[in-house]
Amino acid sequence: MDGGYRGEDFMRWVMDIFRWVVEIVLRPLEKKGFVLLPKRWVVERTFGWLNWCRRLSKDYEHLPQTSETFIYIAMIRIMVRRLA
């Protein structure tokens, strides 16, 4: 997460519900302009891959379970293409 999510309540909620450790990644104060933040690119890259799938580029589905299924299908397709 970036510095916009400083709420302790959110971090505590994620720890209690999902057992995940949330790390806040802050931008260095002495740097100006664009700064590459560690680990953030992994999430942004994954969302970029998912946007290649036409069905996931917009919210067409009525049920969240259907959207989740298409995310699984898209990630399986990406993994299979990398193995081939």
Question: To 10 degrees, the CA torsion angle through 68, 69, 74, 75?
Answer: 70
The predicted-structure confidence for 1-12, as pLDDT tens digits, reads as follows: 555 556 677 788
Of 20, 25, 29, give the one whose Cα is nearest residue 3: 25
| Cα atoms in the 13 Å half-sphere on the side-chain side of 41 | 4
Strand partners, 25: 2
Distance, in Å, from the CA atom of 51 to the CA atom of 67, rounded to the nearest integer, reads 13
Residues 25, 40: Cα–Cα separation, whole Å: 8
Three-class SS of residue 2?
Answer: strand
Please write the tens of the pLDDT for every residue from 28-62: 788 888 877 777 677 778 888 888 887 777 777 78
